[in-house]
């Protein structure tokens, strides 16, 4: 049996770990320990997804909670170290680019476990993004790197990572989307909110570069104020964003918009139903750029860069400059196209990425 610790901690990690746990279980060759760091802890940012996506209950929850980057990373490391010492894994698998990813990766490698990084190689080349630092460092210490798109292969080659460590396997987040699409269609969230398919847009915002600076955020909100005059907006608000604007004038402006429906974060199936039927998505999320590509829904990414360029070159995504005018001008352009965009499905985004990961790890046993 291959002894492996699988790590998750923040919302996007849960969609990624779900098919991996399933593939390991089905393979019958893995002894797994699922560790939740507790980076995200609200029911709607964490527990909900375990039920919806049939993820096994974590064997251990480190319950670290929120903190500054240094505090959160250090707390995860301190609490994760005894777990690794006790379980003595052959491998530790981490996903994505959050603080839990690098914190657990660093601990595991120093204790002699081989590190597996799922969703490796993505680069925004923007060091102001905390995730970019997490990505670069995690890849540097990983022994097996699983890649979602060709740009990841190219980036790792440029950084001198040995070819034999790198495997293009597809996208585990898309495994989850394809496995749940039919189930999500059964959600009655549109009816319960009085929405009609293709007659609303979905918004998510949580990148510190957008929501920690309220002067910058004001430019985005000002564009929403104009757009909602003709298209309903549905905004499940991330706790970082909610905490930043609660009690401020900007928060009051968001609440005052007649055609903007402000929600707590919603479950995965409800969110998938909302995005699949939206005319448009406006977001700064990483994962949602990929999901809209598969769903064929136009995505305006409110960021100066993306680490997921295939969603632009092949998918339905485009970057939008962070001024009110630019947001409105791209919106107008999409409106003249009746919000109809075409794209193709990136290689291996076919629902089988986790299966490929399990097979590659089993085959790699001989090499280590």
* Contact set with ligand UD1 (CB under 6 A): 10-12, 39-42, 45, 66, 97-99, 130-131, 206, 238-240, 243
**Active-site residue, from 36, 79, 206, 238:** 206
Cβ 290 to ligand UDP shortest distance, Å: 8
Site mask, ligand UDP, residues 194-223, x = CB under 6 A? ----------x-------------------
- Pick between residue 97 and residue 139 the one whose CB is nearest to ligand UD1: 97
Q: Rule CB under 6 A: is residue 100 a binding residue for ligand UDP? A: no
Is residue 50 a contact residue for ligand UDP (CB under 6 A)?
A: no
Q: How far apart are CA 348 and CA 310, in angstroms?
A: 12
Could you tell me the smallest distance in angstroms from the CB atom of residue 220 to ligand UDP?
16
Strand partners, 261: 234
Q: What angle do CA 61, 64, 69 make, to 5 degrees?
A: 140
Rounded distance between C-alpha atoms, residue 93 and residue 116, angstroms? 5
Contact criterion met (CB below 8 Å) for 169 and 357 = yes
User: Would you count residue 287 as binding ligand UDP (CB under 6 A)?
Assistant: yes
The partner in contact with residue 236, picked from ligand UD1, ligand UDP, none with C-beta cut-offs of 5 to 8 angstroms by kind, is ligand UDP
Report the DSSP pairing between strands 232-236 and 144-147. unpaired
The answer to whether the beta carbons of residues 151 and 121 sit under 8 Å apart is: yes
**Helices 287-295 + 172-185 axis angle, to 10:** 60
Active site residue 206: yes
**Which among ligand UDP, ligand UD1, none contacts residue 189 (Cβ within 5 to 8 A by kind)?**
none
Nearer to ligand UDP, 113 or 279 (CB): 279
Closer CB to ligand UD1, residue 12 or residue 251?
A: 12
User: Per-residue string for binding with ligand UDP, 231-260, x by CB under 6 A?
Assistant: -----x------------------------
Q: Which of the choices ligand UD1, ligand UDP, none does residue 99 contact, using the CB cut-off of 5 to 8 A by kind?
A: ligand UD1
Q: How far is the CB of 271 from ligand UDP (least distance, A)?
A: 4
Query: What is the rounded distance in angstroms from the CA atom of residue 285 to the CA atom of residue 34?
Result: 25
- Cα–Cα dist 47/300, whole Å: 29
Question: Which is nearer to ligand UD1, 99 or 171 (by Cβ)?
Answer: 99
> x-or-dash pattern for ligand UDP, window 8-37, by CB under 6 A?
---xx--x----------------------
Contact call for residue 285 and ligand UDP (CB under 6 A): yes
Distance CA 175, CA 342 (A): 21
Phi-psi region of 248 (alpha: psi -120 to 50; beta: other; left: phi over 0): beta
Instruction: Out of 58, 152, 170, 286, point to the residue binding ligand UDP (CB under 6 A).
Output: 286
Query: Angle at CA 148, nearest 5°, toward 153 and 143?
Result: 60
CB 49 within 8 A of CB 55: yes
Strand bridging mode 200-204 / 166-168: unpaired
What does 87 bind: ligand UDP, ligand UD1, none (CB cut-off 5 to 8 Å by kind)?
none
Q: With beta carbons less than 8 A apart as the criterion, state whether 117 and 139 touch.
A: yes
Strands of the sheet containing 232-236, edge to edge, are 260-263, 232-236, 200-204, 280-283, 299-301, 317-319
Q: Give the whole-angstrom CA distance, residue 239 versus residue 15.
A: 19
CA–CA distance, 131 with 340 (Å, rounded to integer): 31
271 binds, among ligand UD1, ligand UDP, none (CB under 5 to 8 A by kind): ligand UDP
Least CB distance from residue 48 to ligand UD1, whole Å?
11
Q: Which stretch binds ligand UDP (CB under 6 A): 54-62, 86-94, 285-293, 317-325?
A: 285-293
> How far apart, in whole angstroms, are the C-alpha atoms of residue 93 and residue 5?
6
When the beta carbons of 98 and 250 are compared against ligand UD1, the nearer one is: 98
Binding site for ligand UDP (CB under 6 A): 11-12, 15, 204, 236, 265-266, 268, 271, 285-288, 291
Which residues are marked as active site?
206
């Amino acid at each position: 049996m291959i002894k492996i610790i699988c790590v998750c901690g923040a919302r996007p990690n849960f969609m990624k770990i779900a098919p991996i746990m399933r593939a390991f279980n089905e393979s019958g060759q893995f002894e797994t320990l699922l560790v939740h760091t507790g980076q995200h802890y609200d029911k709607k940012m964490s527990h909900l997804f375990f039920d919806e996506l049939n993820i096994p209950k974590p064997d251990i929850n480190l319950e670290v909670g929120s903190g500054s980057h240094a505090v959160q990373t250090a707390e995860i490391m301190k609490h994760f170290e005894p777990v690794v010492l006790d379980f003595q894994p052959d491998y530790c698998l981490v996903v994505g680019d959050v603080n839990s990813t690098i914190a657990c990766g660093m601990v595991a490698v120093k204790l002699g476990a081989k590190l597996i990084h799922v969703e490796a190689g993505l680069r925004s080349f923007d060091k102001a993004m905390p995730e970019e630092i997490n990505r670069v460092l995690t890849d540097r210490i990983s022994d097996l790197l699983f890649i979602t798109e060709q740009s990841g292969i190219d980036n790792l080659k440029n950084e001198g990572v040995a070819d034999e460590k790198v495997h293009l396997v597809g996208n585990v987040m898309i495994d989850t989307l394809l496995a749940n699409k039919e189930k999500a269609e059964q959600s009655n969230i549109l009816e319960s909110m009085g929405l009609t398919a293709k007659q609303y847009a979905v918004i998510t915002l949580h990148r510190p570069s957008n929501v920690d600076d309220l002067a910058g955020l004001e430019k985005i909100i000002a564009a929403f104020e104009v757009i909602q005059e003709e298209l309903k907006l549905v905004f499940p608000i991330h706790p970082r964003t909610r905490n930043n604007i609660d009690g401020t004038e900007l928060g009051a402006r968001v609440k005052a918009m007649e055609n903007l429906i402000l929600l707590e974060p919603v479950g995965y199936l409800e969110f998938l139903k909302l995005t699949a039927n939206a005319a448009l998505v406006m977001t700064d999320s990483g994962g949602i750029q990929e999901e809209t590509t598969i769903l064929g829904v136009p995505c305006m990414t409110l960021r100066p860069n993306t680490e997921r360029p295939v969603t632009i070159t092949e998918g339905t995504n485009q970057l939008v400059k962070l001024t009110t005018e630019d947001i409105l001008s791209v919106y107008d352009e999409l409106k003249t196209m009746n919000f109809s965009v075409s794209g193709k499905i990136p290689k291996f985004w076919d629902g089988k990425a986790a299966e490929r990961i399990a097979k590659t790890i089993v085959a790699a046993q001989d090499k280590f």
